[in-house]
Chains A and B, each alone.
Chain A
Amino acid sequence: MSNFIYPLAHLLGGLILICAFALLSQRRLAAMITLYQFEAMILTAAAFWQGYAQHELALYLTGIITLVIKAIALPIGLRRIVKNFNIVRAVETAMPVGLSMILGVGLIGVAVWVVLPTTMSAVTLTREDLAISLSVVLLGLLVMTTRRNALSQVVGFLSTENGLVLAAIGMPGMPFVAELSVALLVLMAFLVVGVFLFRIREHFDNLDIAGIESIEKQGR
């Protein structure tokens, strides 16, 4: 079995990266949410696999939390927001999709270029995992910057968070991974609930956050 540890961990990491990259190309909210759901499911598998490889019970816990909340509960909540608030289903992007994908490839290049040389001394598994998870984090941030729509920014942020958890589960023997991922989840759940509670739609004109700029225009 031990022969499989590296290839399978990398395969799962790679799949997450593909999901994160596909998020960048999607203009439809429903598709973005589905992609996020896939990403969370693969992350669950990755957490279980790492738990098995590192013989760490806490990682199984992380996996279960990821499955229940991120792969099931959050997508349901997000879909309900889209339905209830009648959000325009296709999202306006701040730049052409092609350009943002080129930028995305560039970011993955940067992540690999930055991480691999600096981690020569670290264990192989961690090295590549770290490069992949940094790419996922950066791609999520890129999704946030290229979308004008608050909900798709939330999905981008959620994807960023998946990247962070992917990094955390790959750290050899890092304590509090489960606790930290729960703390992150609180933040994410808050974000999704926040879209509900703040009822941004009423103030933000269809969840379009262009309104934020009005503060600056008033020059207060």
Chain B
Amino acid sequence: MSIALLAVLVPLLAAIPLALAGSATSASYFNLALNAVTFALTLGVGFSPGTGMLHADHLGIIFGILSGFVGFTTSINNIGFIKSEQGRKSIRRWRLYHAMCQVMLGTTLLGLYADNIGLLWVAVEGATISATLGVSLSRTASALEAAWKYFILGGVGIALALFGIMLTYLAAQPALGPGIAAMSFNALTQHAAQLDGSLMTLAFVFLLFGFGTKAALVPLHGWLPDAYAEGPIPLTATLSVLLLNVGLLALLRFRHLMSANAAAGAGAMHPGPFLLILGLASLFLTGFSLWRRRDSRRFFGFSSIEHSGIAIFAFGIGGPAIIFGGLLHMLLHTLLKSALFQALTKAALARGSAAPGNYGFSHLRGMIATNKHLGWLLVICIFALTGLPPSGLFTSEYLIISQTIIRDPYYSLPLGAGLLLCAIAIIRQVGPVGFAPAPASAKPQKAGADIITIYAHLILVLLLAFAMPVALVTLLSHIADTLQ
């Protein structure tokens, strides 16, 4: 049994004992221990990536480690979350919650490690179901509405993705013949030039709609802000950030099949324009939507759509350097956004409760005045999301813009305008959240020791952005080179 398989199975199987846990507190500690094991396993996947259907390539390994890490730090924060929220829901709800946290992590890892496109689809489907259960957990009218919306949109998305996967299989028939090889990313990539080009184009349209729903690209993004705003925040916001990567990476791999096929003159359309339009649409829609949000979870949900859009834009331009930039952007954004959601959880807890509905910007005003330490971290995280220097995201955005200017100068203008629009909208919130006077009811509080996870995330962001280890640079450039 390979370590990759083990890293997927541990969380999936661990959902069973967690679904039977005696108390929410003990479950949260067990959850932490499990996620520590899963994190250790993701670190080891490189030594035994598996064979056949579950074969982790370098891209899967890197994002697997990232997911393991975020899962681990989230479960540390989850303990404090459970301690204060425990009484609000029955033990049955908490059992479901912890089980779904594990299923979500397990299916995310499965989606990252899967070499078989059918298996990838099953992973995405499982993640959709677990996320729906998570969103509906609080059983309020708005949570149920959000869950229903998520399920219908996500369901239609995965239905279309399955059609795309079947068409991909059909497109691979001339090259690979019937059988399991025609569903393997590895084999498909090697024979990209021999695939049936026009069928592959048709397949890509369906895949774009399907996985684009998971990656929350405009106009398929409708579920995301509501889903982020409802449900327990560690599951529906922090862990959900990881799920965007699964959709984006799937699109990156299918995009590569298309562009390799087009480059060989086998009849596929170039995927660039599709991705560029979706990317720019995401950027501009969020740029305008961000101005009107009053709930911070919804607000940062929209910001996730923006960053998905930037990554897909980078993949749309194509070429090794900009794909490197896009991958770096995904890594940095995942780390930053999960750190931000952890800080938001703490901020809401400091102001009374971390239940949905307590994340309004007016509710979280003046964090520095009452919780100096946490307030500053929150300000740093929000500022870093703008992508203005010295934020880590500046490096990846700079790389993407400069490459766009070199390769496709006309696109650089809308890209720059969109980025600026989003940055201004986000930076407007730094002042009120950080430096405004706090509401009279808020009491000063000292930050707990688990605030260290936010530091860990921020330090990793700085390391990746400004002092990336040479080995990782080589590896990422190699990946970007093969997937260009």
Contact = CB atoms under 8 A, between A and B. Distances in A.
Interface stretch (B32-40, B64-72, B169-177, B388-396): B169-177
Contact of A212 (B136, B145, B202): B145
Nearest to A126: B170
B173 to A, nearest CB: 7
Contacts of B167: 130
Interface string A148-170: 00100100010011001001100
Interface stretch (B81-89, B146-154, B410-418): B146-154
Given A134-B163, A174-B166, A186-B129, A157 B156 contact: yes
B298 A157 contact: no
B201 interface: yes
Given A172-B173, A180-B162, A187-B155, A220 B121 contact: no
Contact residues on A (Cβ < 8 Å of other chain), bracket: 35 or more
A9 interface: no
B178 interface: yes
Contact of B129 (A114, A160, A190, A204): A190
Contact of B169 (A118, A119, A171): A171
Contacts of B144: 198, 200, 203-204
A99 interface: no
A15 interface: no
A30 to B, nearest CB: 22
A215 B162 contact: no
B202 A114 contact: yes
Contacts of B147: 198
B25 interface: no
Interface string A114-129: 1101110110001000
Residue with the highest number of chain A CB atoms closer than 10 Å, among B128, B170, B178, B293: B170
Nearest to B360: A220
Given A141-B156, A164-B159, A203-B141, A171 B170 contact: yes
Q: In this complex, which of B148, B152, B202, B360 has the most chain A Cβ atoms within 10 angstroms of its Cβ?
A: B148
A118 B183 CA distance: 20
B201 A118 contact: yes
Contacts of A220: 229, 293-295, 298, 360
9 tightest CB-CB pairs across the interface, nearest first?
A173-B178, A118-B198, A203-B141, A220-B295, A175-B180, A176-B118, A212-B145, A183-B122, A198-B144
Interface of A: 114-115, 117-119, 121-122, 126, 130, 134, 137, 141, 144, 150, 153, 157, 160-161, 164, 167-168, 171-176, 179-180, 183-184, 186-187, 190-191, 194, 198, 200, 203-204, 209, 211-212, 214-215, 219-220
20 contacts: A117-B198, A118-B202, A126-B170, A161-B159, A164-B163, A171-B166, A172-B173, A173-B179, A174-B166, A174-B178, A184-B125, A184-B162, A187-B128, A190-B129, A200-B144, A203-B145, A209-B148, A211-B145, A219-B292, A220-B294
